[in-house]
Each structure stands twice: as structure tokens, then as C-alpha cells.
A = this chain, B = another copy of it.
């Protein structure tokens, strides 16, 4: 305490607890913002037909675009819920986790593009593979983030056992299914999209059952 230089340097590297809380919340708010913008930009993948004679027919021809919109909205919504739950369980972060989060967001923000591809070329393997690769990348970076946080003591005490489940089977499962759908898409794009549907309808529940995940989906406020 008597040496002013040492004191100054400790001031530099030790912001108060409150400041760190603000910094943490800004990172979470920034991520939420990217999710909210990406999910709302999906609407720009729906094109208004120009000078259509039979508007009803033109819209029916675009059924795949509407399906891609619905699928991607659900996918981004689910991803956001996972992200939201995971970051809610963190007590600390570091530079590596920050970089992983940015990489994750770069793939999340790409979804409106691959979703647009899918809506316009739903019958083509290339579009289906691009979408699957995008979501496999998102899932993989997320799983790596969870594992990194779990291994570097960044998770809060009350959430540690929970995150360990979370970082287990179920997440590699999601990335795995997307990767498996790629060779399937080479044979049949439609079959590949059915594989994805499996993730939504059966997969998660199955994975949760396998890992005995019983986390509550909701919350209460005071």
C-alpha cells in the first residue's frame, strides 16, 4: 500500500466488480442484438414479386421461401435460447471466450444468407449443404465455447453440474446431425431437410433423455 506505483498498477488491472458486471452485460446485450437483427433480417429473404399478373400463383410458387423463413426463425430462436442460457451461467469471461463468441456470431449472422439460398434453391444439394455447413459451424463453435468455459473455471458454481451435462452428448449431437445430413443431401436434398426436422422433433428430447438433463426452461422474477 505504501508504494504508489504498485497501487496505480493494481488500479489499472482491477476494475471494480460493478464495472466488470457492466462489461459482461454489454457483451451479452451485443450478442442478443446480433441475434435479434439476424432473425428480423430473415424477412428480407422474401421477395415481393414485381408486376405479377397472378399474385396468388406467384406467392404459391414461393412456398419454399416461406418454409425456409419459418425453419430459420425457429433455428435462430433455438440457438438464441441456448446462447442465452449458457451466458447466464457464466461467472467470468476471458479473451479467448470473447473471440469464440465473435466467431460464433459471425456464423449466426450468416444464416439469413444461407437461408435465402435454401429458399431459392431448395431442390439443389449445394444449397442444402451450405445451410447444413453453416449450422454445423454454429453448433461446433458453441460446443467448443461451452467446453472451454467449463474447463477454465468460468462457469458459476450453481451451474457447473448443469453445464457439464450441456457440454456433453447433446451438443455434439446437433453438430453431428448437420454433418451427417451433408452426404445425405448429395443423394436427396429433401431427405436431408427431413434429417434436420428430426433434430427439432426427436433429437433434443432424445439427447436430453440420454444425458438426464432436467433443467427448467422458465424463470421467475421478484
Contacts and interface: CB of A to CB of B under 8 A. Distances in A.
| Stoichiometry (number of copies) | 4
B12 A161 contact: yes
The 5 closest A-B pairs by CB, nearest first: A95-B217, A33-B36, A94-B218, A11-B158, A20-B219
Contacts of A217: 94-95, 98
Contact of A73 (B18, B55, B102, B220): B102
Contacts of A113: 43, 46, 48
A24 B219 contact: yes
Given A102-B74, A161-B9, A40 B37 contact: yes
Interface string A67-94: 0011001100100110011001011111
Contact of A22 (B26, B36, B88): B88
Nearest to A52: B121
A40 B43 contact: no
A38 interface: yes
B39 A34 contact: yes
Interface residues of A, number: 88
Contact of A30 (B16, B35, B90, B162): B35
A56 interface: yes
Q: Is the interface of A mostly helix, strand, loop or mixed?
A: helix
Contacts of A11: 157-159, 161
Interface in A192-222: 214-222
A34 B77 CA distance: 12
24 contacts: A12-B159, A12-B161, A12-B162, A13-B215, A17-B222, A21-B221, A30-B80, A30-B84, A32-B33, A33-B40, A34-B36, A37-B41, A43-B112, A55-B124, A56-B126, A70-B106, A74-B102, A74-B106, A77-B105, A81-B98, A91-B220, A92-B219, A94-B216, A98-B218
Interface of A: 8-9, 11-24, 26-30, 32-44, 46, 48, 50, 52, 55-56, 59, 69-70, 73-74, 77, 80-81, 84-85, 88, 90-95, 97-98, 102, 105-106, 109-110, 112-113, 116-117, 120-121, 124, 126-127, 130, 157-159, 161-162, 214-222
